[in-house]
Amino acid sequence: MFDRPYRGVTFGAVALVALYAFEALAVATAMPTVAQALDGLSLYALAFGGTLAASVVGMVAAGRWADLRGPAPPLRHGIVWFALGLLIAGLAPSMGVLLLGRVVQGLGGGMMSVALYVAVGRVYPPALHPRIFAAFAAAWVVPAVVGPTISGALVEHVGWRWVFLSVPLLAVAAAAFVLPAVRGLGAASGSAHDAAITESNRLAWAIGAALSALALHHAGQQRGTEGAVLLAVSVVALISCAWRLLPPGTLRAARGLPTVIAMRGIASSAFFGTEVFIPLLLSRERGLSPTMAGAVLTVGALGWSLGSWYRSRPSQPFTPPQLLRIGMGMIVIGVGGVAASVSPSVPVAVGIVGWIAAGLGMGALFPTLSVLTLELSPVNRQGVNSSALQLCDALFTAAVLAIGGTVFAAMLDRAPALAYLTGFAISALLALLGAVLASRVRVAIPD
């Protein structure tokens, strides 16, 4: 993948993934301090869920856009909106403005992620797909090592705002690498005649899904009948929108591609539904500094990279369903280790070891699901199906964060330990469900 025809795309794409990784880990480390500084602890989960909800709109727009005009236009716009959102968040005078910045950032991040997947499918031969997706995961290594540490140091010595304001400069550098490399990629053959791709109302359903996810978070902040009604309406609306955005059969895990896409959402929601609360748990309940709490995210990301390296090896003793089942099982183990560390009598090291195991599981899962998606997609549907893969990721995770955030906010003052444990239990049950569904994937190259 570093031969002359692919060198520019590889360097640019990996640099962009590394930038995204740095931002994700740095913001996760800083967010407990940010929420307390802006008096927005009750909106803690929404700071992550809002980003994911907005990314749904970016993913749908980019999937159709990339198939019709190539990956360069959505990638260019994605980088611009991503950087703008970071600037808004970094200059925010209140939690509300910070949430706005996170929403804009999510829109751009959704565009970037889908455009990169389409570029992989269009540029590299199938034999290189496992390696480039593993390289994407490996691009988290350096940010995983330095991101939380740098973020913690910035928070402690300079101020949390620089966690956001320093990243747009890196976005410009990454754009200089990747955009020239993908500029010549035009529309996919046959895409102009594919009704599923050109369906104009998909973007409307994506906006509806994003608004439903945000309403779900808002409902969690309400009490009494009004909150219960808004919660029910939001859940029904989110399911209705997801039903129309995802491939038929995804929500019931039909065999083949629908199960592959559903498992991406299940794995992501189980993992990130736990990870977003780890820095808060360790800093607020166990007394660790922001730097030390962020270091736990570092070891999880390192485990993810190690798992991806193993998955990239050319000869594999495990079939894709076996890899998926093993990965989900390791997430269950990881969530259990983190849940155990809620108790003051359990060493923090138990949670750290558990999160390494969860990272290893995600490292095995993500490249496997990405490769299966491209294998099961015709060329003129790679953008739509890559979009669906990441859409399911964002929708499931946003919904789980909304539900977990609602429970967390309701219980935090009265029973903080139970607040954490309830959210972790939801994540563990999701991972167990994924392990059961792993046998429903199959590898087949479409006509």
User: Any idea where the domains of the chain sit in the sequence?
Assistant: 7-179+193-440
* 164 vs 26: CA distance, rounded Å: 8
| pLDDT value, residue 19 | 78
**Cβ neighbours of residue 132 closer than 8 Å, sequence gap 6 or more:** 1, 10, 13, 120, 124
Q: Residues 130, 108, 188, 173: is their CA dihedral positive or negative? A: negative
* 278 vs 276: CA distance, rounded Å: 6
Of 249, 250, 253, whose CA–CA distance to 437 is shortest?
253
Residue pair 330/360 in contact (Cβ under 8 Å)? The answer is yes
Q: Residues 72, 75, 77, 83: is their CA dihedral positive or negative? A: negative
| pLDDT value, residue 140 | 66
* 227 vs 284: CA distance, rounded Å: 28
Which uninterrupted H or E stretch holds 111? Answer: helix 95-123
* 18 vs 10: CA distance, rounded Å: 12
What's the pTM value of the predicted model, to 2 decimals? Answer: 0.71
Encoded tokens for 268: 């992501």
* 354 vs 37: CA distance, rounded Å: 30
What residues of the chain score a pLDDT lower than 70?
Answer: 1-2, 4-5, 8, 137-138, 140-142, 144-145, 148, 181, 184-200, 220-224, 314, 379-380, 382-383, 443-447
As assigned by CATH, the class of the 7-179+193-440 domain is mainly alpha
Q: Residues 431, 433, 435, 439: is their CA dihedral positive or negative? A: negative
| pLDDT value, residue 336 | 94
| pLDDT value, residue 247 | 85
Encoded tokens for 300: 């999880």
* 273 vs 268: CA distance, rounded Å: 8
The DSSP symbol for 256 reads T
| pLDDT value, residue 331 | 95
